[in-house]
Amino acid sequence: MPRKTLLRVAGLIAVHIALVAPFVPLSSILPAGLGALSMTAMAASLVLAARWRLVDRLTGGPDKSYGAHRWLGICALGGALGHWALADFSGPGLVPFLADGAEGAGTIAATGLIVMTAAAMVRAIPYHLWKASHMVMGPIFVLGAFHTLFVASPLSLGTLPWAVMALASVLGCLAWAQTLWRKATPSRLVRVASVARFEGGVDVTLRAEAPLPRFRPGQFSTLAWNEARAEAHPFTIAGGTETERRFVIRAAGDWTDAFMRDVTEGDQLRLGRGVGRFLPQTGRARSEQVWVAGGVGITPFLAALEKMEPDQGPRVTLLYYIRSRESAGVLCDVERRVLQLPQVHLHVICDADVAGLNPDRLADILRKTGDGTQVYLCGPEGLKNMIVATWAAVGKSGRIHSERFDFRGAYGLSELIYLGKPMVTAASDLIARQRTRLAGS
């Protein structure tokens, strides 16, 4: 866990303990604080999942929201487990005859939260099952709210912690209702106007009969087949007009593999609205920028190039890293657009090149940028890490913008083995010591 995240989690725990401390006996401070932490973390997770535009703007975009959502889920689980293990329910409760039922509801909610968190952490679980399981979070939260408000508790009605929990319960329920409403609202229906396949991906243009909601270069939207309960997947918008949207999609999983193989002209799809805060500057008033794209990470910059007009404003340096020209299905399009934009300087770096991409070559390019230059990154984590390290090594301090598109953030088998091996080893050593001690006695 990064130190900054660890400090934030510790601060969150401390705030909740301080919130309840003046209102409960000493023995109840820790379980009450952990219970409050679990409820507010679950409520905040539901608010983030509701995708309210103000919240997305405050958090810096949906990808940042998902990162916070993940850690809030871990806090909710940790708080629930600690509360479950330590709480000693006493007092009449708000409605005495509901107290026993509220205690049972808390047990069910804690169990559901454990199962949910386990499902979220294991990438081996198919995506559609993982996504469907998240819809159970709403009922789990409602049970948790019922438990919080009606269980036998040392917190009195009207105290500050009780009011905070009541407010969190209301906000969480409203956010869950908003999420359900959004899922029930039909997305825009569009038809596939053109399909161009390339090595490892597909370039598709979608057309609607009526004007589509506006988007900004760098934003993404969801795509789904026009079928009942079809999965919706997020993809960065590669360009478009009032009635068209273009997407360049790499085959990277079951859904994208099937989409690349099966999509044909005339197919009907459901298109979500454009969202996101990864927004390269395209106007004359922009600052100097470095755009770094790896593979299909070119898509936000392709939309930006489409929007730009030739000018003599601050320079934009575009670094486009590809495995091969065959796998870069839009390279010719990028080169054509850059020829019309004197403010854009393109560097295409291919795996097949003798020099390739290395820190020294990258440093030579980045040193030529001015003070205050901003970097926009879209590509694999290895490329991002190299850019960040080299940017610091050449003494640059301009802001680096990036998005994380692994919204699931789960653990694969190799990560689980890596995380679990020390625990298994420790357990084995403990058992061996116990056996030795028993044999000696």
**Residues lower than pLDDT 50 in the chain:** 410-419
Domain with CATH 2.40.30.10 in the chain: 188-271
Instruction: Identify which of 294, 289, 301 has the alpha carbon closest to the alpha carbon of residue 321.
Output: 294
- Sheet order of strands, 233-236 included: 233-236, 220-225, 268-271, 188-198, 201-207, 244-250
Evaluate whether 253 touches 127 at the Cβ level (below 8 Å): yes
Q: What is the 3-state secondary structure (H, E, C) of the chain?
A: CCHHHHHHHHHHHHHHHHHHHHHCCHHHHHHHHHHHHHHHHHHHHHHHHCCCHHHHHHHCCHHHHHHHHHHHHHHHHHHHHHHHHHCCCCCCCCCHHHHHHHHHHHHHHHHHHHHHHHHHHECCCCHHHHHHHHCCHHHHHHHHHHHHHHCCCCCCCCCHHHHHHHHHHHHHHHHHHHHHHHHHCCCEEEEEEEEEEECCEEEEEEECCCCCCCCCCCCEEEEEECCCCCCCEEEECCECCCCEEEEEEECCCHHHHHHHHHCCCCCEEEECCCECCCCCCCCCCCCCEEEEEEHHHHHHHHHHHHHCCCCCCCCEEEEEEECCCCCCCCHHHHHHHHHCCCCEEEEEEECCCCCCCCHHHHHHHHHCCCCCCEEEEECCHHHHHHHHHHHHHCCCCCCEEECCCCCCCCECHHHHHHHHHHHHHHHHHHHHHHHHHHHHC
Domain with CATH 3.40.50.80 in the chain: 289-402
Helix axes 3-20, 160-184, angle to 10 degrees: 130
Range 188-271 classified under CATH 2.40.30.10: yes
> Which CATH number is correct for 289-402, 3.30.2090.10, 3.40.50.720, 3.40.50.80, 3.40.91.50?
3.40.50.80
Q: What is the pLDDT of residues 59-87, one digit of tens each?
A: 776 666 777 777 888 888 888 888 888 87
Residue 425: the pLDDT is 64
CA–CA distance, 344 with 396 (Å, rounded to integer): 20
Residue 121: the pLDDT is 65
Q: What is the pLDDT of residues 290-313, one digit of tens each?
A: 999 998 999 999 999 999 999 999
Instruction: Identify which of 378, 58, 328 has the alpha carbon closest to the alpha carbon of residue 219.
Output: 378
